[in-house]
Amino acid sequence: MLMQTMEARDTDKRIDLLEERVDERFDHVDAEFRRIDARFGILETNIRECRAEQKAGVKELRAEIQGVRGEIQLANRELRDDLRAMQRNMLFGFFGLATLFLTYAGFQLS
């Protein structure tokens, strides 16, 4: 009977010790999860900040692109107007030169 009591006590101590160790491990695991959650919270905040900065940068780029596009269109219109004026001048010059040739040829024939 004495052996059974000692064994029962020894088993109870072992179970208590095992319960304590399991509780310690769960506390450790719980602390690790809290630490990981905190890191992910920081990461999520950083990602939100990066996205906000990226959106602001894209808006700025779009505004700049629109401005450059407007400048290019204006320059293109001015260039077309200049080319048309140059074509008119060349055409008038050609007709003026042709008139001179025809006038000179007329004097030669008479």
- Split at pLDDT 50, 70, 90, the class of 102 is confident
How far apart are the C-alpha atoms of 1 and 71, rounded to whole Å?
A: 104
Percent of the chain at pLDDT exceeding 90: 66
Please give the pLDDT value at position 85: 95
Mean pLDDT, the chain, whole residue set: 88
Residue ranges of domains in the chain = 29-110
pLDDT at 9 over 80: no
